[in-house]
Amino acid sequence: MRLATWNVNSLRSRIGRVEAFLERHDVDVLALQETKAREDQLPLMGLQSMGYEVAHAGTNQWNGVAVVSRVGLEDVEVGFPDMPGWGDPAAAPPVMESRAIGATCGGVRVWSLYVPNGRKVDDPHYVYKLDWLARLRAAAGAWCDVPTALVGDWNIAPTDEDVFDIAQFAKSTHVTPPERAAFQGFLDDGYVDVVRPHVPGADGYTYWDYYRQRFERNRGMRIDFVLGSPPLAARVTSAFVDRDERAGQGASDHAPVVVDLA
């Protein structure tokens, strides 16, 4: 099985690139983030004609997640157990954002995840991010003994090696000790970063801001991950980041991450 994840930054804008990517790399399962649409707004006929089924969760022009599979799509679950919503409970009920969708594809439980950004360390969204991760970890503990892939845009660079210049992130989110500790918690529970052994150093960057030719200068970050449970991690034979997909006109600011399973 070939499994991939990609923050596509608007599926409607990049559906042609997604279809070409699936065909070029012979992908069986693709997890998408930031689809930025309701399901009825998505042009899915091309994917369906290629033999893919699509499970999608999206409510507006923000967020949105999907699982695209040609090896089965069963037991679809929108949101993980006890997933928090965003907002001030004192002002209004929290909004349940479209940030997680799970499906069983070819015997593998695939979760497409779009972790909240956090914005700034003194922003309520940062607290929301940490709470979201804590609740995901609590839910994911029950999935560790079966083939499970937690994939997507984690909005965390877990080590200094995962950013082009750590000094530039001294007062930013994505690299703070609490965020990194939250990410490490999944590893402590048994999940494995299955890509890093195959893609060392700066070759592993998955995100480059559109600002000041960050991609051309390789001033990127590694914030998109495939974390595998032990039964899944044992099946990984190779992995790569498709940096070519970040190049060219109309590219997403993220590159796809691809993993092969025996």
104: domain CATH number is 3.60.10.10
Spatial contact of 100 and 116, defined as CB atoms under 8 Å apart: no
CA distance 193 to 191: 7
Mean residue pLDDT across the chain: 96
| pLDDT, average across residues 105-130 | 96
Average pLDDT over residues 113-133: 96
Beta bridge partners of 226: 151
Choice among 57-71, 90-104, 114-128, 181-195 with the minimum mean pLDDT: 90-104
Mean pLDDT of 6-35: 97
3-state secondary structure 168-204: HHCCCCCCCHHHHHHHHHHHHCCCEECCHHHCCHHHH
pLDDT at 61: 84
Total tally of structural domains belonging to the chain: 1
- Full-model pTM: 0.96
Calpha distance 147→45 (Å, rounded): 30
Domain ranges, residue 30: 2-261
Sheet holding 53-57, edge to edge: 53-57, 65-69, 29-33, 2-7, 257-261, 236-241
Position 22 pLDDT exceeds 80: yes
Convert the pLDDT of each residue in 232-241 to its tens digit. Answer: 999 999 999 9
